[in-house]
Amino acid sequence: MNLYHLIQSLNPEQKSQLLHILQSESKSNQENLVEAKFHNGLFCPKCGCTENITKFGFKNGHQRFRCKNCGRVFNEVTDSFLMGTKKDISIWKKYIDCMLNHFTIRNTAEICGINKTTAFVWRHKILDVISSKTDKEIKLNGIIEVDEAFFNISYKGMRNLPRESHHRGTKANKRGISNAQVCVTCAIDRNKNSYGKISNLGRITIDSLNRLFENRIEIESIICSDSNSAYRKFSEGIGCKHIEIESGKHKNGIYHINHINSYHSKLKTFLRKFNGVATKYLNNYIVWVDNMIDEIEELMNIICKQRYRSFNDRKLIPVI
Ligand SMILES: [Zn+2]
């Protein structure tokens, strides 16, 4: 924000000099993206062909290429959500910078010169991409701590509410758990690999644990949890040793659930900044608090490479 005010205080000539510097920078950023996306050489996103690809002019500031094999015209952002954007890559980078600094939607919109709805949509497009990357990559092994937390269902921001809105989406009391709450189940290993998501409505079940952690926990891992029997049965089912931490006790030698407890309190603190989040976006915020890539260039490279399907394709209550 200081920088923003500083820029405001420049005279027209200084502003135009600054603009010049930023524009030439943005050009080389674009070149970086092309290099990153095609670091193994050019390839066609349609047929995968690596030969017979020629340059095919510029459009919206992007160098385009054409595959002579199948006729597909593409650029470095083809198939990512940046393909449809009319905003310059430099605005996206500015946006990511705001996001990494946890600026509000309002401040971010102001700094980037976009409207608030766009700022909100961009937030979740970026988080969608990181989320699908996390889904593909995260594996847990060794000593793994698991626990669940409950959040009231929230339809914040939705026009046609299915039922009465619990506006704030606050963390619900563990007592009196009902299907008006989503169960967020998270696991973390001692290498700080972590994975968490809305698993189901109400109390945790063995079925939802199986679905959530399918192919994610390496064999011969050791699972630490509280005394909820679902965890014991789940561990037995996947052939892992289970260590139960009795309630009231915090430690059993090297086995404890301190890391997962602090994971949940970090999540809770983080969510408080947003004055409640809609349940349909909750998984994205879990990814943001824990699996965020905090380097702008790296994040841009990931966004360019990842296919993006649809923003609106999202369940109101995304249980697995
Ligand atoms: Zn092709």
Find the CATH number of the domain harbouring 284. Answer: 3.30.420.10
Q: How far is the CA of 86 from the centre of ligand 1 (A)?
A: 25
In-domain check, residue 156: yes
- Two tokens, residue 119: 């700022």
Domain count, the chain: 1
- Two tokens, residue 17: 């000099």
Q: How far is the CA of 79 from the centre of ligand 1 (A)?
A: 14
In-domain check, residue 184: yes
Domain interval for residue 253: 136-297
- Tokens 């700080």 identify what position? 192
Element (H, E) at 148: strand 143-152
The residue among 95, 92, 100 whose CA lies nearest residue 76 is 92
Ion ligand 1: protein residues whose beta carbon lies under 5 Å: 44, 46-47, 49, 67, 69-70, 72
In-domain check, residue 47: no
In-domain check, residue 287: yes
In-domain check, residue 265: yes
- Two tokens, residue 219: 């064999």
Q: How far is the CA of 33 from the centre of ligand 1 (A)?
A: 20
In-domain check, residue 213: yes
SS3 assignment, position 183: strand
Q: How far is the CA of 14 from the centre of ligand 1 (A)?
A: 46
Q: How far is the CA of 309 from the centre of ligand 1 (A)?
A: 20
In-domain check, residue 151: yes
| pLDDT tens series, the chain, 320 aa | 788 888 889 998 888 888 877 766 665 666 767 776 777 778 888 888 888 899 998 877 678 899 999 999 988 888 888 877 778 778 888 999 999 999 999 999 999 999 999 999 999 999 999 998 898 999 999 999 999 999 999 998 877 766 554 445 455 455 577 888 999 999 999 999 999 999 999 999 999 999 999 999 998 999 999 999 999 999 999 999 999 998 777 777 889 999 999 999 999 999 998 888 999 999 999 999 988 888 888 888 888 877 887 888 888 898 88
pLDDT in tens, 102-126: 999 999 999 999 999 999 999 999 9
Q: Structure pTM? A: 0.79
Q: How far is the CA of 49 from the centre of ligand 1 (A)?
A: 5
Residues contacting 218, CB < 8 A, separation 6+:
139, 140, 141
In-domain check, residue 190: yes
